[in-house]
Amino acid sequence: MAPRAVQAESSRAAQRKAVPRPAPTAAPAVNGSKKRAAPAPVEEEEEDEGLMNGDQTLEMSDDEVAEGEEEDGNEDDEDFPELDSGSSDGDDEEEDDDEEEDGSESGYNSSDIERMYEDGDEDEEEESPATTPSSSREDLTIDEKLSRMIAKNSVKPDEAIGTDGKISAAKTGKGRVVPSKYVEGSYRREYEEYEAGYGSESSTEDNPNTVGNIPMEWYDDLPHIGYDVNGRKIFRPVKGDELDKFLANVEDPSAWTSVEDKLLQKQVQLTDRELDIIRRLERAENPDKDFNPYQDTIEWFTGKGNERVMPLSAAPEPKRRFVPSKWEHKKVMKIVKAIREGRIIPNKPTAQKPAVYAIWSESDQPHQEHAMYMPAPQLPPPRTAESYNPPEEYVFTEEERKEWEEAEKEDRKTDFMPAKYDALRHVPGYRNLVQERFERCLDLYLAPRTRRVKLNIDPESLIPKLPSPRELRPFPLASVVQYRHPGSTRVRCVSVSPSGEWVASGSEDGVVRLWDLGNGREVWKWDLRGGAVQSVDWSPNAEEAVLVALVEGKVVVLSPLWLVPPAVAAATMEHTNAGFASSAATTKAGAGKEVKGVEAVKWARPGESDRERGVLVTIEVPGTPKQVAWHRKGDYFSTVAVDAANKSVLIHQLSKHATQSPFRKTPGQVQRIQFHPHKPWFFAATQRYVRLYDLAGQTLVRTLQTGARWISSMDVHPGGDNVVVGSYDKKLGWFDMDLGNKPYKTLRYHTKALRSVAFHPTLPLFASASDDGTIHIFHATVYSDLMQNPLIVPLKILRGHRVTEGLGVLEVRWHPQKPWLISSGADGEVRLWCS
């Protein structure tokens, strides 16, 4: 205990020394410090006397109670740890000199502030034995502080704290032990009076007015300002007028430190500590005088001797962290089992309460969806003219008004007259309201309504599922051979021999040329000397090699005699010359009998050198024949000359050298003709219609309405039931004759007039050529199943022909076996397009 005593001595000395000095943290109130200076020595002397009763102060805080109790505790138990609470240290210092060890600054609580200020007041009256720790601390010198700190830090904290040591004196018995009155020899503990100090200052304040925390202006017009505890009125204190107030303020030096107590309606002088708190608040400091912003560090687990050597827990991770919980597994499996057995049904609907409808409710709930619900059509929103203040132009002029008034009610354009009012409140009542509502109701009642189902269709789904062109190979892809015509002459027509070896082309210089299909070599040519070659066509009979070419006023039958085997050449000669043998027919029209209307047609034999070169027969016909079409057997062929009036369509028979005109009166300007591939039928396309005639029965079978303005080309599917028609107005119509007289499909994709359409004889392909210089290749499967419509797939656009003078590709023909296309163009080229 020796060092402790020394410390205590030194601290006391320090206290003594510090006494005469003004307190460094003293309240700024001048009078307070003055008062304090004198009794300070007395305080020290009386320290020991005032051992007991801390109840000398009226407002004893609980801390002080604890101190009092502590004394007893100290008596019982000397080793009570000083660490307990800061509130006790001040007392320790004073009561036990030798027990002065601990810093008083360690604790802080709210009542310290109070106490601190209280003692300032009390000092005036009497010396309290319980000097506050703060006052004692103020007196400490730096040395003392240092030594305290050293002492504090050099002592190991009591490890028993929190285990079994006493935490608070309040838990143990305090108070005096007095002999029991009733039981002999026994003691009972007698406690001091305890006054509940309810922490809050306002609650313990001595306040005579009991009206509570109400706005005091409620008592403004009353003579009293409230009631005291006994229910008596507290009357309003006398107040001087403003002059008195002013004088009072001037005279009283303490007036500026006083405020009005609203409750008591009088000026209250602020105490020093209140002023001090105000000043601190002004300086934005902690209002507590004793608050030390620079607290000493308390080293709990650091510093010498306090080091912790072990971690908080060295226990290994428990197994349960790794092993799945068996219990949980069991629980889950129980549920699973229940689900499997059907005892638990997942997503089972809970029992539904019967829906209760508020039948009288008129709320704006939407109608339930059901089939028969048809909402009334909405009225149109009001227009500008219906405004109460429409712009001037909507208001009727005199004439309009007159007209409106004179008109019948049904004839009026509007059922009201727009009127202009400068304010809404000037608008009179609407006279027709009831009438209109009635009519509306009548409408809704009488008008049958139907539900308009709005179709919501994905546009993608409307596009037919077409196979990709890649799957539909082969079809022509690229131009590989060009049949070059000398000079730049338009090639109007082209035809491929039935064997697929020779290509015949007719150009505007009047020459029919024969080309090797494979390499584009011109091997033979006939100069017809008759203007542009309008059309060439090979006979479909592969046993012969007959070619018909058309020039103005003439049909020429040609044969490449020297290029075909002698047997074929001989057969050709025999076929074409048979007519000459029957002498009557040679240079006359009609075979044997006179057919009316064909007098102008004359079959003639060309000269010997021409015949030697293969010009076998010429037929003089009226007009300029534009197109030739062969019958499938290769004996009949038909020509059409647009400008030959009723003799425009002629059917020639090669073996008999006979010509007949099938139509007495042509139904219009016949543009195109074609024989049906296997029936004795004949297609004739006029400008707008395609007519199908039965040649054997001499009847009109069918009229196809193309919808085109001017038909330019036509071809018949080798199956015979489908026809494509191209027109000058850029459209292509596909007719399925099983589906009626209207086009099954009308395709419009060329940018200029179509010139030629062609079906492949064997493969499901067709092509269309146009003046825009392109050739479109289509896949076209015609199913034998009547229930299935033809499949048309666009495959390829072939570009290569140049557009010259507004003309592009003039004719396309297919190779008879291969997916190859021959096209002739206005640029003087014939091209072969290969897959």
Partner 1 sequence: MSASAAAAPAAGPSRTLPINLFTHHSPDSIPSSTYLLPASWRRFQLSELINKVLRTDAEVEAKPVPFEFVIDGEVLRGSLEAWVKKYRQGDEERVVDVEYRRTLRVPQEVARREVEDWVSGLSLARPGYILLSSYLSHLQLIPLASFTSPAQPLTLNLPSLLGATCCTYLSPSSVLSNVRVAAGGVDRLVHIFEIPSLDPSAPSTSAREVYSLHGHTGPISSVISGREGKDVVSGAWDGAVNLYVLPEFEPTEHQLEANPSTFLPGQKKRRKANPSGVSIVEGLNDGDVGEGGWRRGPDTVFRGHNGRVGALVWDKRDKEKVWSAGWDGSVRGWDLEMGQEGVVRQGPMDKSILCMDQWASTGTLATGAMDRTICLWDTREATSLISLTIPTASPVPSLTCHPTSQFTLAAATYSGHIQIWDVRSPKHAIFSVSKAATPAAGAGGKKREVTKNGKVLGERLLALDWDGERVVAGGEDGEVGLWDARGE
Separation CA 703–CA 693 (nearest Å) = 9
| Residue 563 touches partner 1, criterion: CB under 8 A | yes
Q: Which DSSP category does 143 fall into?
A: H
The alpha-carbon radius of gyration of the chain (Å, integer) is 63
Separation CA 768–CA 756 (nearest Å) = 6
Give least dist CB 467 to partner 1, A.
Answer: 18
Give least dist CB 827 to partner 1, A.
Answer: 13
Q: Which listed residue (523, 645, 700, 786) binds partner 1 by CB under 8 A?
A: 523
| Residue 145 touches partner 1, criterion: CB under 8 A | no
Separation CA 7–CA 15 (nearest Å) = 12
* Residue with smaller CB distance to partner 1, 288 or 522: 522
Give least dist CB 834 to partner 1, A.
Answer: 5
Q: Which listed residue (173, 377, 518, 697) binds partner 1 by CB under 8 A?
A: 518
| Residue 819 touches partner 1, criterion: CB under 8 A | yes
The CA distances from residue 661 to 28, 602, 645, 653, 821, in Å, are 141, 13, 11, 11, 33
Q: Which listed residue (31, 110, 292, 482) binds partner 1 by CB under 8 A?
A: 482
The CA distances from residue 566 to 195, 516, 562, 634, in Å, are 149, 19, 8, 19
Q: Are 711 and 746 in contact (CB under 8 A)?
A: no
Give least dist CB 609 to partner 1, A.
Answer: 7
* Residue with smaller CB distance to partner 1, 538 or 636: 538
* Residue with smaller CB distance to partner 1, 8 or 777: 777
Separation CA 780–CA 732 (nearest Å) = 14
| Residue 484 touches partner 1, criterion: CB under 8 A | yes
| Residue 817 touches partner 1, criterion: CB under 8 A | yes
| Residue 478 touches partner 1, criterion: CB under 8 A | yes
Give residues 586-645 in contact with partner 1 (rule: CB under 8 A). 608-609, 611-613
Q: Are 692 and 678 in contact (CB under 8 A)?
A: no
| Residue 561 touches partner 1, criterion: CB under 8 A | yes
| Residue 524 touches partner 1, criterion: CB under 8 A | yes
* Residue with smaller CB distance to partner 1, 435 or 482: 482
Contacts of 639 (CB under 8 A, 6+ apart): 548, 550, 555, 621, 625, 626, 627, 628, 629, 649, 650, 652, 673
Site size with partner 1, rule: CB under 8 A: 42
| Residue 140 touches partner 1, criterion: CB under 8 A | no
**H/E run at residue 225:** strand 224-227
Separation CA 831–CA 801 (nearest Å) = 8
Separation CA 390–CA 676 (nearest Å) = 73
Separation CA 354–CA 224 (nearest Å) = 67
Give least dist CB 796 to partner 1, A.
Answer: 14
| Count of all residues that appear for the chain in the document | 835
* Residue with smaller CB distance to partner 1, 622 or 819: 819
Q: Are 661 and 595 in contact (CB under 8 A)?
A: yes
- Quote the distance between the C-alpha of residue 226 and its chain's center: 70
- Quote the distance between the C-alpha of residue 296 and its chain's center: 61
Give least dist CB 499 to partner 1, A.
Answer: 8
| Residue 542 touches partner 1, criterion: CB under 8 A | no
* Residue with smaller CB distance to partner 1, 672 or 831: 831
Q: Which listed residue (34, 239, 451, 521) binds partner 1 by CB under 8 A?
A: 521
* Residue with smaller CB distance to partner 1, 673 or 758: 758
| Residue 800 touches partner 1, criterion: CB under 8 A | no
Separation CA 559–CA 561 (nearest Å) = 5
- Quote the distance between the C-alpha of residue 97 and its chain's center: 83
Give least dist CB 762 to partner 1, A.
Answer: 10
Separation CA 827–CA 482 (nearest Å) = 12
* Residue with smaller CB distance to partner 1, 481 or 725: 481
Q: Which listed residue (23, 480, 542, 791) binds partner 1 by CB under 8 A?
A: 480
Q: Give the residue from 679, 706, 683 showing the smallest Cα distance to 693.
A: 683
Report the 3 state secondary structure along 503-548. Answer: EEEEECCCEEEEEECCCCCEEEEEECCCCCCCEEEECCCCCCCCEE
Q: Which listed residue (573, 595, 701, 803) binds partner 1 by CB under 8 A?
A: 573
**Helix runs in 127-198, H state only:** 133-138, 142-154
* Residue with smaller CB distance to partner 1, 240 or 486: 486
Choices 146-154, 184-192, 564-572, 668-676; region in contact with partner 1 by CB under 8 A: 564-572
Provide the β-strand partners of residue 821. Answer: 814, 833
Give residues 9-48 in contact with partner 1 (rule: CB under 8 A). none
* Residue with smaller CB distance to partner 1, 512 or 670: 512
Burial of 713 (0-12, 13-18, 19+ CB in 10 A): buried
| Chain position carrying tokens 């430190």 | 257
Choices 47-55, 214-222, 729-737, 813-821; region in contact with partner 1 by CB under 8 A: 813-821
Q: Which listed residue (191, 194, 430, 562) binds partner 1 by CB under 8 A?
A: 562
Choices 145-153, 223-231, 456-464, 816-824; region in contact with partner 1 by CB under 8 A: 816-824
Neighbours of 586 (CB within 10 A): 15
Q: Are 645 and 666 in contact (CB under 8 A)?
A: yes
Q: Which listed residue (522, 552, 635, 729) binds partner 1 by CB under 8 A?
A: 522
Q: Are 60 and 204 in contact (CB under 8 A)?
A: no
| Residue 802 touches partner 1, criterion: CB under 8 A | no
* Residue with smaller CB distance to partner 1, 154 or 587: 587
Q: Are 783 and 772 in contact (CB under 8 A)?
A: no
Q: Which listed residue (525, 602, 632, 702) binds partner 1 by CB under 8 A?
A: 525
Kindly write out the interface string for residues 486-515 of this chain, putting x where it contacts partner 1 by CB under 8 A and - elsewhere.
x-------------xx--------------
Locate 272 and state its tokens.
């020093």
Choices 1-9, 127-135, 288-296, 817-825; region in contact with partner 1 by CB under 8 A: 817-825
Kindly write out the interface string for residues 100-119 of this chain, putting x where it contacts partner 1 by CB under 8 A and - elsewhere.
--------------------
Give least dist CB 510 to partner 1, A.
Answer: 15
Neighbours of 823 (CB within 10 A): 28
* Residue with smaller CB distance to partner 1, 745 or 818: 818
Sign of CA dihedral 138, 139, 142, 143: negative
Choices 185-193, 256-264, 570-578, 747-755; region in contact with partner 1 by CB under 8 A: 570-578
Give least dist CB 807 to partner 1, A.
Answer: 21
Peptide bond into 474 cis (omega under 30): yes
Give least dist CB 546 to partner 1, A.
Answer: 13
| Residue 369 touches partner 1, criterion: CB under 8 A | no
Q: Are 462 and 816 in contact (CB under 8 A)?
A: no
Choices 121-129, 130-138, 559-567, 742-750; region in contact with partner 1 by CB under 8 A: 559-567
| Residue 474 touches partner 1, criterion: CB under 8 A | yes
Separation CA 561–CA 614 (nearest Å) = 6
| Residue 655 touches partner 1, criterion: CB under 8 A | no
Q: Which listed residue (570, 584, 700, 786) binds partner 1 by CB under 8 A?
A: 570
* Residue with smaller CB distance to partner 1, 95 or 509: 509
| DSSP-derived 3-state class of residue 657 | coil
Residue 223: phi and psi, rounded to 5, are -75, -25
| Residue 337 touches partner 1, criterion: CB under 8 A | no
| Chain position carrying tokens 């205990």 | 1
Residues of this chain that bind partner 1 (CB under 8 A): 474, 478, 480-482, 484-486, 500-501, 516, 518-525, 561-570, 573, 577, 608-609, 611-613, 817-820, 834-835
